[in-house]
Amino acid sequence: MNKTFDIKRFWLFLKRELVRAYNDMGLTILILGLAPAILFGVIQAFALIISGEMVSFTYTGILAFSFALLLGCIVIPIKLYGPLTDKRFGSEWLMIPASRIEKYTTMMLITCVIAPICITAITFVTDGLLSLIFHNQYGQVLATKFNFKDMMDFMRGMVYSIGGGDADLEGIEGIKFHMSTAGVLILNWIEYAVFFLLGAVIFDKSKFGKTLLCLMALSMVMSMASTAIVSFCNLDGLIDAISDENPQRLINYMMTVIYAMYAVLALVPAYFIWRRVKTLKH
C-alpha cells in the first residue's frame, strides 16, 4: 500500500468517515442547526408567560449561531475522534487500509471544514424559515445581520443603530479592521476545533475537562506574556505615537499580530495532532 497519499484511497476513506460521522453526530449537528428555533422558542415562551404576548428580539439568530458553532467545535472532535485512544476502536481505525496522512487529512477536513458547513447550512435554513414565519418578532435573515462586511463597518452600523442615528462616529470613520464578523467565527472555529481535537487524541479520559483546563492555562500564560512584553518594551508610547499619527496604521499592526496568533494557535496543535496520528499504536 502506498504509504503517502493516494487520491482514490483517500476518497474511499473519506466516504467511510463521513458515514461514521453521520451516524455518530448527525442528530447532534441537526440540533445545533436548529439552535435559532430553540432559542426563539424559549424567548417567546418566557415572553408569553410574563407579558402575555410575543416580543421582538432581532439578535436571536446571531446568538444562536455563535453558540451552535462554539458547542460544535467542542463536541464534534471529542465525539468523533476521542475513541481513538480506546484500544478496540483505535486498533480497528488503524487497520483500515489508508495511510496515516490520509487519515489525518480526513480528520482535519471533517472537523474544520465539513462539520461547520453542515451546521451553518442547517442554521441558515432554520433562520430563513423563522424570518419568513415570524418576521416581526425574529427580524431579517441572519445573512443581513451577520455578514461579510469589514468588522469595523459592522460595529459602526451597530453603534448607529443603538444611538438612534445620533451616535458620534468621529474618529472611527474610514478605519478598516480587514476582518469580517464572519471571518472571526471561521477563525475561532478552526482554532478551538483543532485544540479540542488535539485533546481528544491525546488524553485517555476526561478529554473535555483536561482540554478545557489546558486552554485556560494557555490563555493565562499568553495574557501574562503579552502584559510582560508591553511593559518591558514600553510599547505604550509607540502605540500612542502610531495612533496619533495614523489610526489605520495602528489597526494594521494589531491585525497582523492577531492573524499571526490565530495561525500559531491553529498550526501548532495541528502539528501535534499529526505527530499523534503518525505514532498512534495499541
Instruction: Give 11-40 pLDDT, tens digit per residue.
Output: 999 999 999 999 999 999 999 999 999 999
Contact (CB, 8 A) for 263 and 191: no
Residue 224 or 26, more confident? 26
pLDDT given at position 162: 44
With 80 as the cut, is the pLDDT of residue 183 above it?
no
For residue 56, is it left (φ>0), alpha (ψ between -120 and 50) or beta? beta
Q: State the Cα–Cα distance between residues 31 and 38, nearest whole angstrom.
A: 9
- For cell 432554520, what's the residue? 126
Give the pLDDT confidence score for residue 179 in this predicted structure: 58
Return d(Cα 200, Cα 216) in angstroms, integer: 16
Q: What are the backbone dihedrals phi and psi of residue 150, each rounded to the nearest 5 degrees, phi first?
A: -60, 140
pLDDT tens digits, residue range 103-159? 999 999 999 999 999 999 999 999 999 989 988 888 888 777 655 555 555 555 544
Query: Cell numbers 494594521 label which residue?
Result: 252
Q: Is the pLDDT of residue 234 over 80?
A: no
Quick check: 167 pLDDT over 70? Answer: no
